[in-house]
Amino acid sequence: MIKNKGTKKEAGKKPLELYIHIPFCIRKCAYCDFLSAPAAPEVQEAYVGQLLQEIAASKKLPEDYEAVTVFFGGGTPGILKGELLCSILRALRDRFSVREDAEITVEANPGTVNRDKLVQYREAGVNRISLGLQSADNQELKLLGRIHTWEQFLESFQLARETGFRNINVDLMSALPGQTTESVHRTLERVLALSPEHISAYSLILEEGTPFYKRYEGHPELLPSEEEERQMYYDTRDRLCACGYEHYEISNFAKPGYACRHNLGYWERTDYKGFGLGAASLLENVRYTNQTDLTEYLKGNFAGTEEPLTEQAVREEYFFLGLRKMEGVEPGRYREHYEERIQRLQAQQLLEEKDGRIRLTERGTDVSNYVMAQFLD
C-alpha cells in the first residue's frame, strides 16, 4: 500500500475532497468525450463568475468536514487566466476548512501555461500539476488532435520545475492508431528522463460520438491488436516499476509518497463536493449532479439531480471502484453477500486474497471490466 504524507485524517475531522470542473479547452481532441468545448475569454470569465456564486451559495457543511484535496479538472483548467483560477481557490478557502497540507492539483495542457501563470498557482497554494502529454511522438500527437508538440511539453515541464512544482503528473496514452511497442518505449524513456513524481498511463478507448469513434469503430485493422495493446501495458508497467514507481492503481504509477490523494479518495468513496458544469458530489451516500447545459449554468441555474444511493449501489461502488487499486479491498461486511462470486473468481485465477484483502491478479487485470461487473447485482 502506498502511504502518502498527510493522508491521515485528524482526530474528529471527516475528510472531504473538492472538485472544480472547468469545461473549456482550446480545441476538442479527436478522442475526447468529456464535457468540454472551446469558449471565448469573456465566456470563461462569466463562467468563473457563476462558479464563485455557486461556491458562495453552497450549503454549509458540518464543521467536522475538512477538505484534504482540491482538484481542478476539465477540459483544460490551465486555459483560464491565472487570476481567475486563483480567485476560485480563494473562494473555496473562504467557504470550506481546507487542510494546510491539502493536495491541490491543476490539470493543464502543454502550451496553456507560462511562467507567470505557474508562479500565480504556486503563490495561491497549488502544489501539484498534471500535464497532458499523451505521447512524445509529434505525429501521434497530431493524429490525436492535440494542440502541442513534444518540445512544447518539455518547455512546460521545465517551467513547472523552475517555478517550484515538486509534484508533477504526466498523462500518457497507448494503443493509438498506428502506434507500435517501439514508439511506446521511446515515449516512456523520454518521460522517465524527466523523473516526474507520477505517471498515468491509459489505453485509448473509442468513445461513441467522437471523431475517433466514427473513424476507427469497425476498423480494428487500423488499431493495435488486443495482444499488442496488452504488451504495451505490460511493457509500461514493467519499465516504470523497474525505475522505482509503485503501481498503485490499474493505470497509475507513483514514486513512493506521491500517489494521487484525490484519486485514491475517489476510489475509496471519500465524500466529495463538486462545483461547475456537470460536476458531481457524493455526500453521506447521496449523489448530486450539477446542471450540464452551459447556457443555463451561466444564468445561475446550477442544480441538477439528487440521488440517494441504496445499500446495493453503495456495495457495488465499493467493489467496482476499490478493485481498481492494486492493493484491492477488504470485503468486510459485504463478504457474505459476495462470497460465492469471490470464490468463483479466485478459481478462475482472476482474484486473489492476501492479508484480508481481495485484489486483481495479473490475469484479472487483463479483464478487469469483466471482474468488476461480477459485483453488480
Instruction: Give the pLDDT confidence score for residue 4 in this predicted structure.
Output: 54
| Position with higher pLDDT, 12 vs 20 | 20
% of the chain at pLDDT higher than 70: 97
Tell me what the mean pLDDT of segment 288-298 comes to: 96
pLDDT, averaged across the chain: 93
Residue 328 has pLDDT above 50, yes or no: yes
HSE of 159, CA atoms in CB hemisphere, 13 A: 22
Tell me what the mean pLDDT of segment 42-46 comes to: 96
Tell me what the mean pLDDT of segment 73-84 comes to: 94
| Residue 167, Cβ density class (10 Å: 0-12 exposed, 13-18 middle, ≥19 buried) | buried
The enclosing H or E element of 307 equals strand 305-308
Where residue 30 falls among pLDDT bands split at 50, 70, 90? confident
Least confident of 25-29, 56-60, 337-341, 351-355: 25-29
Tell me what the mean pLDDT of segment 92-100 comes to: 95
- What is the Cα Rg of the chain in Å? 21
SS3 of residue 257 by DSSP: coil
Tell me what the mean pLDDT of segment 52-81 comes to: 93
Three-point CA angle 94, 100, 105, nearest 5°: 80
| Among the listed residues 107, 99, 86, 135, the one whose alpha carbon sits nearest the alpha carbon of residue 24 | 107
Domains in the chain, CATH or no CATH each? 14-267 (3.20.20.70), 311-377 (no CATH)
For 202-238, how does the pLDDT look when each residue is reduced to its tens digit (9 = 90+)?
Answer: 999 889 988 888 888 888 888 999 999 999 999 999 9
Instruction: Give the pLDDT confidence score for residue 26 in this predicted structure.
Output: 86
Instruction: Give the pLDDT confidence score for residue 11 in this predicted structure.
Output: 57
Tell me what the mean pLDDT of segment 312-322 comes to: 96
Instruction: Give the pLDDT confidence score for residue 1 in this predicted structure.
Output: 41
Instruction: Give the pLDDT confidence score for residue 221 in this predicted structure.
Output: 87
Tell me what the mean pLDDT of segment 261-269 comes to: 97
Instruction: Give the pLDDT confidence score for residue 35 in this predicted structure.
Output: 82
Instruction: Give the pLDDT confidence score for residue 185 in this predicted structure.
Output: 97
For 178-193, how does the pLDDT look when each residue is reduced to its tens digit (9 = 90+)?
Answer: 999 999 999 999 999 9
Give the dihedral sign, CA 134/140/146/150.
positive
Residue 259 has pLDDT above 80, yes or no: yes
Instruction: Give the pLDDT confidence score for residue 13 in this predicted structure.
Output: 86
Tell me what the mean pLDDT of segment 143-157 comes to: 94
| Position with higher pLDDT, 253 vs 147 | 253
Residue 10 has pLDDT above 70, yes or no: no
Question: In the beta sheet, which residues pair with residue 130?
Answer: 107, 169
Instruction: Give the pLDDT confidence score for residue 7 in this predicted structure.
Output: 47
Instruction: Give the pLDDT confidence score for residue 5 in this predicted structure.
Output: 42
